[in-house]
């Protein structure tokens, strides 16, 4: 008798959790209703090879739908130091569930209660963290003080709301606030926008190194980040790089283009928080490239896919319509169509990365396994990029 065929891996949306400095600290697993038991679906993904190495050093927050059924065997092979079990407050009302969760806590797994628990429930469960949708309301002060944390505020739609929640005692944040940058940020003054677009234009037409160097000299913030990157542990150079010419030589043309495209998202005050759009742009770019390669596209098309991914958030970065951004650049027509209309092969791939679905994957000829592996590669690369820029 042949072995039963395994069902395809579930599609998952990995949602980033950041600290107050916009640095990624954890990932939550969001799965569609078709996945069935969300916890079991997440377990299947986490037990594929090299998952925790790819996502290091981030924690993985797993939703436990039925904590009364959770057994130690389910968690076998999962490193307690990297896993946080998220359980709804309603499910913790039962004393049997509280004892079961406390046993998992004693085994080293961290517990995060989804919602505000009655006094004593958190301690009986062994939970130290609270998670809640704080988009409009905040929990009672004692709810946060009574647990050591970190506490996670979800539903964050703006940097100002993150600041309010941080003041209230939250230290982890999730939501779409990265897509709503402050209107008065340093990247949005007119001169900076012009320099950014000029640099992008030079990169798009493969300008020579001297032209790039001239423009970099006019932008101290971008130049600073470029030199910081080249001298980081990512390149392990024997002696420090002090000039743009050296940096260009060390990186090489192709890598220079890629890093500069990402460095555009790193423009910030030297002592300010990281730009939350940076890792998102890195994930999109890497996923586009990996999936393009999986479809058998040649090296040039893979590079174009990378560009589409990294440029797809420029309208949000620059706070201007994408048509105006594209008009200032010398991009291939296929790239322009993808960015403006989400059509053509590149546009279809971008839509798939933005909103994956089983039907879209099937139409593109991409398996669930290939898509999950592309996600892991993309997040691994984005994590490394964020740590080196």
Q: Residue 148: how many CB atoms within 10 A of its CB?
A: 10
Separation CA 141–CA 134 (nearest Å)? 13
Q: What is the pLDDT of residues 9-53, one digit of tens each?
A: 888 889 999 999 999 999 998 877 676 788 888 888 998 999 999
- Stated pTM of the model: 0.87
Which three-class secondary structure state does DSSP give residue 63? strand
At the topology level, CATH places domain 181-389 in Hypothetical protein af1432 (1.10.3210)
Q: What is the pLDDT of residue 3?
A: 37
DSSP string, 108-148: T-EEEEESPPPTTHHHHHT--EEEEE-SS----HHHHHTS-
- For 51-56, which contacts have Cβ atoms below 8 Å and span 24 or more sequence positions? 51/376, 52/79, 52/82, 54/376, 54/377, 54/379, 54/380, 55/27, 55/376, 55/379, 55/380, 55/383, 56/82, 56/383
Is the pLDDT reported for residue 104 higher than 60? yes
Q: What is the pLDDT of residues 223-270, one digit of tens each?
A: 777 777 777 766 666 677 777 777 777 777 777 778 778 877 875 555
Residues facing 109 on adjacent strands: none
Tokens of 79: 């490193």
Q: What is the pLDDT of residues 316-328, one digit of tens each?
A: 988 889 999 888 8
Is the pLDDT reported for residue 172 higher than 90? yes
Q: What is the pLDDT of residues 282-295, one digit of tens each?
A: 999 999 999 999 99
Percent of all residues in the chain with a pLDDT value above 70, rounded to a whole number? 91
At the topology level, CATH places domain 13-178 in TIM Barrel (3.20.20)
Q: Where are the domains of the chain?
A: 13-178, 181-389
Among all chains, which residue has been given the structure tokens 């309010």? 164
Q: Residue 322: how many CB atoms within 10 A of its CB?
A: 18
Using pLDDT thresholds of 50, 70 and 90, give the confidence band for residue 135: very high
């Amino acid at each position: 008798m042949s072995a039963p065929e395994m069902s395809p891996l579930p599609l998952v949306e990995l949602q980033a959790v950041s600290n107050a400095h916009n640095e990624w600290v954890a990932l939550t697993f969001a799965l569609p209703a078709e996945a069935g038991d969300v916890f079991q679906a997440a377990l299947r993904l986490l037990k594929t090879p090299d998952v925790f190495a790819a996502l290091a050093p981030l924690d993985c927050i797993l939703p436990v739908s039925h904590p009364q059924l959770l057994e130690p065997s389910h968690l076998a092979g999962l490193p307690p130091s990297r896993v946080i079990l998220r359980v709804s407050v309603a499910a913790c009302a039962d004393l049997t569930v509280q004892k079961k969760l406390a046993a998992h806590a004693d085994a080293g797994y961290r517990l995060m209660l989804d919602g505000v628990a009655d006094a004593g429930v958190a301690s009986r469960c062994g939970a130290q963290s609270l998670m809640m949708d704080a988009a409009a309301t905040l929990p009672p002060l004692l709810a946060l003080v009574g647990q050591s944390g970190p506490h996670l505020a979800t539903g964050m739609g703006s940097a100002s709301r993150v600041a309010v929640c941080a003041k209230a005692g939250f230290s982890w944040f999730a939501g779409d606030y990265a897509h709503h940058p402050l209107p008065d940020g340093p990247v949005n003054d007119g001169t900076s926008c012009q320099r950014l677009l000029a640099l992008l234009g030079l990169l798009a037409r493969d300008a020579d190194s001297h032209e790039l160097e001239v423009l970099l000299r006019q932008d101290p913030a971008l130049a600073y980040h470029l030199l910081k990157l080249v001298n980081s542990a990512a390149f392990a150079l024997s002696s420090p790089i002090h000039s743009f010419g050296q940096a260009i030589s060390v990186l090489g043309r192709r890598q220079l283009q890629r890093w500069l495209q990402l460095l555009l998202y790193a423009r910030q005050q030297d002592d300010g928080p990281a730009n939350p759009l940076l890792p998102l742009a890195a994930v999109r770019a890497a996923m586009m490239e990996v999936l393009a390669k999986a479809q058998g596209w040649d090296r040039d098309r893979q590079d174009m896919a990378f560009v589409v991914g990294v440029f797809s958030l420029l309208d949000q970065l620059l706070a201007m319509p994408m048509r105006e951004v594209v008009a200032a650049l010398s991009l291939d027509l296929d790239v322009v169509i993808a960015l403006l209309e989400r059509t053509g092969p590149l546009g279809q791939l971008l839509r798939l990365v933005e909103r994956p679905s089983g039907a879209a994957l099937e139409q593109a000829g991409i398996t669930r396994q290939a898509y999950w592996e592309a996600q892991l590669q993309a997040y691994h690369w984005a994590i490394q990029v964020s740590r080196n820029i």
